[in-house]
Amino acid sequence: MAEIEFVDVVKRYPDGFEAVKHMNLEIRDGEFVILVGPSGCGKSTALRMIAGLEDITEGDLKIGGEVVNDLAPKDRDIAMVFQNYALYPHMSVRDNMGFALKLRKEKPEEINRRVTDAAKVLDLEQHLDRKPANLSGGQRQRVAMGRAIVREPKAFLMDEPLSNLDAKLRVEMRAAVSRLQQRLGTTTVYVTHDQTEAMTLGERVAVMRAGILQQVASPRELYENPKNLFVAGFIGSPAMNFFAGSIEADGIRTPMGTIPFADELRRRLEQHGSGSRQAIVGIRPEDFEDARFAPEGHRGWTFDAHIELTESMGSEIYAHFDFEETEQLEAEELRELQEDAGTADVPQSGTSGHAVARVDAASEVRPGATARLWLDTNKLHLFDPSDGSSMTRPKEAEPAVA
Amino acid sequence: MAHTRKQVAGWTAATIAVLVFALFPVFWLLMLSLKKPSTLNDGRLIPSSWSFENYKSIFQQDVFNRALVNSIGIALISTVIAVVLASMAAYAIARLEFPGKVLILTAALAIAMFPPVSIVGPLYNLWRNLGLFDTWPGLIIPYMTFTLPLAIYTLSAFFREIPWDLEQAAQVDGATPGQAFRKVIAPLAAPGMFTTAILVFIFAWNDFVFAFALTSTKNAQTVPAAIALFPGASQFTQPTGSIAAAAMVVTVPIIVMVLLFQRRIVAGLTAGAVKG
């Protein structure tokens, strides 16, 4: 068990490309931290630096208080679960799991005991003498985890271990991973590109983009108080809706009308500056509702929306509506976010956009008709168009980077 | 795709024609080797009377027995050295990026393709000066020029098939790079090494030019060279029967080995050509 600390770590390749830029992160002993971000953001590189499979160009990596930059992987006492499991094909499950212990020259009885214990926990007992080629994906994944558990290392490193499993199995294994980590209490660093996994598994989640840590906080904090446009748009599914707007004296001008300030919002906004200015307005689909089902006593804003399309999930309905942009906003951040999400190529006609609202399953919204929608004014997020930073994040919240 | 009767007949005929063309000399040799020495020139393909006299006589000669020993020994040693060195080189080539990698590969290939005939002259002189003429090392060293490149190419194709993740997993599990190679990679590459060994052995065994030029006595003369210099019963007779018998003894094991391992050999030559 040990803490892992990145101190101003940089990973630069010979051609100058920086995969990780000045990363500072403290992972406490026994914590389950998730590194999440789009492809190419540097999360796998960061993980492999902890393992020792990638060299560190600048900065220090500490495990258990010691600087380990130059320590070979075999001396770091950490176990890794690879994305495609990397099981030794010529060895049985039992030998796969016992390989590390055999290298350490542990006594055969001890090896046997640990392997059998791990097999029991992972429900692999009847597969111990089979070869990996004869196992299913889920079983192989469990063998990979077993190989890590048996070593009782200082930390577990997991590189997208569930991404090769089918959807249903993934949900089951997610719970299994979580239970396992709680039971063993070992420091775990888990890399994924799936924000659902990040939200459900992590005690703390570190969102990365293009080699830079955007925000490190609990899943709830990331959801409620995203530090910038990227985090806001990345966390939460379906993604947050963004509109071009501006802050005026009488309220926030949006395509849905000029929304008067809620007190809480006004207070937080004042912490970030004053005066009329342009802003990117963010509202999560969950913070909309059909006006007929709007919660009582909640400050809100009702408006008419032309429903383009509805998706009925059974438990709720996602209503897609379009709107005319009232502000023309040159937002570099918004464009980059769209590129990251892959929606940049989706044609948007002229100055209109479209958004998604989540409404009650009993709602009667229909495509092609106009519906009266309500939004929660307490849940408006405002972002500075120049750098995407949040203008509504309460300053007394958890620090953005631990 | 169904074949009509005519097509099947046509293909069978063509196959037979090719087989006859290719195997007739071997068959002729076999027949010659089984003839009584006195009937060698009687113009018959199938011997009138069968006899193993030729076989007996060659084994009675010291020349042939020593040549066999030389052939086996030299080919085996060349194979072992080539496979061991080549697996290390192939591993580096498959895994690492280093300056001069392409140059090394190209140079190896170029050297292998160089016609042996053109270098035996200078090599003969060099070896005489160095005292390597007519010795086992004197043959093993030139054999490296074509066994090593062949082995490196075959083995690097095999190594490339093995996912890098496995070594990294081994390293994280606590293995030094050497242990990772020995315990994880080598067992997986074993089929590749075996196939490479077979290919290399065949090439070394069959070599004539180097053997003929760089050996002179039973110290190091291998079978191909020895056969060419078989003494006849007298100054005026051709030792055709002995040559035929010796050729059979030398060729048949190779044919058997190739037939037994043909699937592996093809796999070795085509490894890495198609993924999966």
A115 to chain B nearest CA, in Å?
15
| Pairwise CB contact (< 8 Å): A73 & B171 | yes
pLDDT given at position A345: 44
Tens digit of each residue's pLDDT (9 = 90 or more) over A133-181: 888 888 898 899 899 989 889 899 999 998 888 888 888 888 888 888 8
pLDDT given at position A332: 61
Chain B CB within 8 Å of residue A99 CB: yes
Chain B CB within 8 Å of residue A88 CB: yes
> Any residues with CB less than 8 A from the CB of A163 and at least 6 apart, and which?
A83, A192, A193, A194
- The mean pLDDT of A86-97, rounded to a whole number, is 90
Q: How confident is the model at residue A265 (pLDDT cuts 50, 70, 90)?
A: confident
Q: Are B268 and B196 in contact (CB under 8 A)?
A: yes
| Pairwise CB contact (< 8 Å): B168 & A73 | yes
Q: How confident is the model at residue B232 (pLDDT cuts 50, 70, 90)?
A: low
Chain B CB within 8 Å of residue A167 CB: no
> What three-state secondary structure class fits B258?
helix
| Pairwise CB contact (< 8 Å): A82 & B179 | no
Q: How confident is the model at residue B275 (pLDDT cuts 50, 70, 90)?
A: very low
Mutation site for A-interface testing, chosen from B161, B167, B172 by largest number of A Cβ within 10 Å? B172
Identify the CA nearest to A324 among candidates A303, A359, A344, A349.
Answer: A349
Dihedral angle sign, alpha carbons of residues B206, B212, B213, B218: positive
Query: Which chain B residue has its CA at the smallest distance from A97's CA?
Result: B173
Alpha-carbon span B214 to B124, nearest angstrom: 6
- The mean pLDDT of A318-322, rounded to a whole number, is 90
| Pairwise CB contact (< 8 Å): B187 & A90 | yes
| Pairwise CB contact (< 8 Å): B165 & A84 | yes
Alpha-carbon span B131 to B119, nearest angstrom: 18
> What three-state secondary structure class fits A1?
coil
Q: Are A80 and A130 in contact (CB under 8 A)?
A: no
Q: Point out which residues pair with A61 in neighbouring strands.
A: A6
| Pairwise CB contact (< 8 Å): B174 & A52 | no
Residues 64-83 of A with CB under 8 A from B: 72-74, 78-80, 82
Chain B CB within 8 Å of residue A346 CB: no
- Residues A216-229 as b/e (b if ≥16 CB within 10 A, e otherwise) read bbebebbbbbbbbb
Q: Report chain B residues whose CB lies below 8 A from the CB of A90.
A: 187-188
Chain A CB within 8 Å of residue B14 CB: no
Chain A CB within 8 Å of residue B179 CB: yes
A-B Cβ pairs (cutoff 8 Å, strict)? 54
Tens digit of each residue's pLDDT (9 = 90 or more) over A331-358: 565 666 666 555 544 444 344 578 899 9
Alpha-carbon separation of residue A131 from A123, A140, A144, A173, B165 (angstroms) = 16, 10, 13, 21, 18
Mutation site for B-interface testing, chosen from A49, A75, A83, A99 by largest number of B Cβ within 10 Å? A99
Tens digit of each residue's pLDDT (9 = 90 or more) over B66-84: 888 888 899 999 999 999 9
| Pairwise CB contact (< 8 Å): A78 & B163 | no
> What three-state secondary structure class fits B108?
helix
Task: List the strands of the sheet with A32-36, edge to edge.
Answer: A78-81, A155-159, A187-192, A32-36, A204-209, A212-217
pLDDT given at position B25: 86
Radius of gyration from C-alpha coordinates of chain B: 23
Q: How many CA atoms lie within 13 A of B126 on its CB side?
A: 9
pLDDT given at position B193: 85
Lowest mean pLDDT among A36-40, A106-110, B158-162, B229-233: B229-233
- The mean pLDDT of A117-142, rounded to a whole number, is 88
User: From the DSSP assignment, how many helices (H) and strands (E) are in chain B?
Assistant: 12, 0
Q: Which residue has the tokens 């889920």?
A: A138
Tens digit of each residue's pLDDT (9 = 90 or more) over A11-32: 999 888 999 999 999 999 999 9
Q: Are A272 and A372 in contact (CB under 8 A)?
A: no
- The mean pLDDT of B150-171, rounded to a whole number, is 86
Nearest CB among B165, B175, B187 relative to A82 is that of B165
- Tally the residues of chain A: 402
Q: How confident is the model at residue B95 (pLDDT cuts 50, 70, 90)?
A: confident
Q: How many CA atoms lie within 13 A of A102 on its CB side?
A: 14
> What three-state secondary structure class fits A22?
strand
Chain A CB within 8 Å of residue B251 CB: no
Chain B CB within 8 Å of residue A7 CB: no
Q: Which helix (H) or strand (E) holds A9?
A: strand A4-12
Tens digit of each residue's pLDDT (9 = 90 or more) over A66-87: 899 999 888 898 999 998 888 9
- Residues B26-38 as b/e (b if ≥16 CB within 10 A, e otherwise) read eeebbebbbbbbe
Amino acid at A205: V
Most confident region among A18-32, A237-251, A263-277, B260-274 by mean pLDDT: A18-32
Alpha-carbon separation of residue A277 from A273, A293, A327, A384 (angstroms) = 10, 33, 11, 9
A207 to chain B nearest CA, in Å?
26
Chain A CB within 8 Å of residue B41 CB: no
The residue among A111 and B217 whose pLDDT is bigger is: A111
pLDDT given at position A352: 59
Chain A CB within 8 Å of residue B184 CB: yes
pTM comes to 0.76
| Pairwise CB contact (< 8 Å): A99 & B170 | yes
Q: Report chain A residues whose CB lies below 8 A from the CB of B188.
A: 89-90
Q: How confident is the model at residue B276 (pLDDT cuts 50, 70, 90)?
A: very low
Tens digit of each residue's pLDDT (9 = 90 or more) over A216-242: 999 999 999 999 888 998 898 888 888
